[in-house]
Every structure is written in C-alpha cells, then in structure tokens.
Amino acid sequence: MISTEIKNFGILGYPVGHSLSPQMYKAAFEAAGFVNYNYIPLQVHAGKLFMAVEAIKGLEFRGVNVTIPHKMTIARYLDAIDADALVIGAVNTVVNDGGMLTGYNTDVAGFLSALAEANFLPEDCHAVILGAGGAARAILWGLCKKRAEFITIGARNLQKANALAKDFMTQGQVEAFDWNSDEFKEMLQTADILINTTPLGMFPHVDDMPPVDLKLLPEGALVYDIIYNPAETKLLQTAKELGYPTLNGLSMLLLQGKEAYRLYTGETPDMEVMAATLKKNLAMK
Ligand code: NAP
C-alpha cells in the first residue's frame, strides 16, 4: 500500500558522510510504499548537539539514528531512555512521539539476533570480547542478559577494560585482562566464542588484526568480527584457514537497523531489500 504521509528521519554524527544508513532506510521505506519518508545524513559538531536535538523537535523528525561522537552525550538532551540504553550508557536510535524524545540502543538486539541467526546459543557460554569501547559495552550487556556463564574482556588498555568489567560485575561473571598477558592466553583455551569489537582490520587498514593467537582457541569456537567492511577481515580469514566457523558484522548492522525501523514505524522492514542495498553500497566503497 502507498502512503503519502510525510515523515523525516536522519542520522546524527560527525563525520557522517560514510554512513550507509541513508541508503539502507530509504530502500526499506520505498519497498514498504512510504513514498514521502525522507532519510538524510545530519552532520552535527559536538558543541551543537543540543541545537540539533531541538531542531529534531522543531522540524518534527519522526526519528534519528545516532553515531560517533554523540552516542553517549545525546542522552542528557532526551526526555526518556529505554532500559538497555541506560545500562549500556549509549543511545543509537531516538524516536520522537509528538515532541517527546526517547533514546534506545538497538545494537544489543542486533548482536543477539545475529548470534541467533548463526545458531550460536550464548546461554552458559564462555565469551571472549576483544576491546572495551562502546560496541563492547552493548555486546557485554547482551551476553549478560542471555546468562553467558563467563565473559572475558581482552584489551590493550587494561584500566579501561577493568572499568568496563566493574560496571557489569553485578550482571554476570566478567573479568578483564591485558590481551598480551599469559592469563588472557589461558582464557582463550576455553572460549566458545571470540568477538572482535576493535576497529583493527577495518577498511582501509585491512592488513591489521588484533594480536591474538587463534590457534589457542578450542576446535569449533566461533570467531566473530563485528566489522562489516571488509566482509572478511584478516582475523576472519585467518580463523577460516585454521578451520574455525566465522561470522562478520553485516548481520548485526542489518538487525540493529531492523529494530530501529520497527521503533520508527511499528512495522518490520523488507530485510532482503535492506541487505541487498547494504551489500551493493559496501561493494562500491
Ligand atoms: P570505540 O568506542 O572507539 O571502541 C573501540 C575499542 O577498540 C576500544 O577498546 C579501543 O581501545 C580499541 N582500539 C581502537 N583502536 C585500537 C588499536 N589500534 N589497537 C588496539 N585496540 C584498539 O568504538 P566502537 O563504537 O566500540 O566500535 C568499534 C568497532 O565496531 C568499529 O569497527 C565499528 O565499525 C564496529 N561496530 C560494528 C557494529 C555493527 O553493527 N556491526 C556496531 C557498532 C560498532 P582504547 O580504548 O585503548 O582506544
């Protein structure tokens, strides 16, 4: 059915020109018959975030996605924060209900749905997370929600990793290590899943990878890199050569987008259209 109602959406960030969200959402809106739904990149400098949020209300945007560097700071300008976003401390989706702005974090749902699609059951698993930034926080919370038995964080900055582990201490059994330490290498030997949340290996630095000896992982451990550009990072390529199952970040990206679309419209997007659009645009980069 065609809908001629006008609704505006966008992605707030700086820089934001590289984002694939405009193409992905526009394709999904078009496929659903929302011919007057617009989605634009909104380049917003850190010091102007408050004005940008006011403009969302004034211009009656229905919703915005939020990316670097605003994911943590935008919360203070919103009227309500959903439970997941509150625990994670980051918002990646804002919905405007008649001037009332609510912040959500759809990365958790995206991550958990991607694991489910890959037939990986996080319940009772030992998960090893590489990195201690924003994405690691969302993933850590997702694993705690699913009652992972043990979560190991390995990072270059032990202080930051320890602080992250401490934040989630009451939610699950979480421990942090310097990823070059012998203790961390020992933890790798019992991992059911290794998740890279660092940007090491992301385009254009495709020859980089986290300093992890994958051979220490048990047979059958899933090696998951949440990077989606390139589709196969050096980490995943190495894991594949060693015979481990692998998963890249495209499904998480798509499934967090599905969740945001559902929050915006109350409907489920055409996932084939969204996936095809993302793949086409990634291939052009
Ligand atoms: P972030 O908050 O900046 O965190 C990045 C983490 O990686 C930090 O722990 C950082 O350590 C570490 N790191 C960065 N550069 C490093 C290097 N050269 N060597 C070792 N460690 C390094 O970023 P984020 O938002 O979590 O995003 C991280 C990655 O996940 C990006 O590649 C992003 O595209 C991807 N991502 C994918 C999805 C998806 O849907 N697939 C969603 C979110 C994010 P320090 O604290 O020491 O700097």
CATH of residue 165? 3.40.50.720
Does residue 181 form part of some domain?
yes
pTM of the model: 0.94
pLDDT at residue 2 tops 80: no
pLDDT at residue 284 in the model: 78
Residue nearest to atom 34 of ligand 1 (CA): 227
Confirm or reject: Cβ of 138 under 6 Å from ligand 1. Answer: no
Same domain, 99 and 124: no
> What average pLDDT does the segment 163-188 reach?
97
Closest by CA position to 229, among listed 256, 253, 257: 253
> What average pLDDT does the segment 9-19 reach?
94
Same domain, 141 and 265: no
Residue 133 Cα to ligand 1 middle (Å):
6
> What average pLDDT does the segment 188-207 reach?
96
Same domain, 97 and 204: no
Report the nearest atom of ligand 1 relative to the CA of 208.
Answer: 18
Same domain, 72 and 138: no
Looking at the chain, the whole-number percentage of residues with pLDDT higher than 70 is 100
Residue 151 Cα to ligand 1 middle (Å):
18
* Ligand 1 pocket, mutate which of 140, 180, 197 (most atoms under 8 A from CB): 197
Confirm or reject: Cβ of 164 under 6 Å from ligand 1. Answer: no
pLDDT at residue 124 tops 80: yes
Same domain, 55 and 126: no
Closest by CA position to 246, among listed 283, 204, 209, 276: 209
What is the Cα–Cα distance from 52 to 55, expressed in whole angstroms? 5
Residue nearest to atom 4 of ligand 1 (CA): 133
Please provide the average confidence, as pLDDT, over all residues in the chain: 96
> What average pLDDT does the segment 67-89 reach?
96
Residue 264 Cα to ligand 1 middle (Å):
27
Residue 244 Cα to ligand 1 middle (Å):
23
pLDDT at residue 275 in the model: 96
pLDDT at residue 18 tops 90: no
What is the Cα–Cα distance from 8 to 29, expressed in whole angstroms? 11
pLDDT at residue 283 in the model: 84
> What average pLDDT does the segment 99-108 reach?
97
> Beta strand pairing status for 63-66 and 93-97?
antiparallel
pLDDT at residue 127 tops 80: yes
Does residue 1 form part of some domain?
no
Domain of 57: which CATH number?
A: 3.40.50.10860
Q: Which DSSP state fits 231?
A: S
Same domain, 66 and 113: no
Closest by CA position to 210, among listed 242, 175, 178: 178
Residue nearest to atom 8 of ligand 1 (CA): 133
pLDDT at residue 48 tops 90: yes
Does residue 2 form part of some domain?
no
Does residue 35 form part of some domain?
yes
Same domain, 168 and 259: no
Same domain, 117 and 192: yes
Same domain, 97 and 58: yes
What is the Cα–Cα distance from 217 to 249, expressed in whole angstroms? 20
Collapsed DSSP state (helix, strand, coil) of residue 71: coil
Per the structure, the complete domain to which residue 208 belongs is given by: 108-248
Same domain, 121 and 38: no
The count of domains in the chain is: 2
**Gyration radius (Cα) of the chain, Å:** 19
Same domain, 240 and 259: no
Does residue 92 form part of some domain?
yes
Same domain, 183 and 220: yes
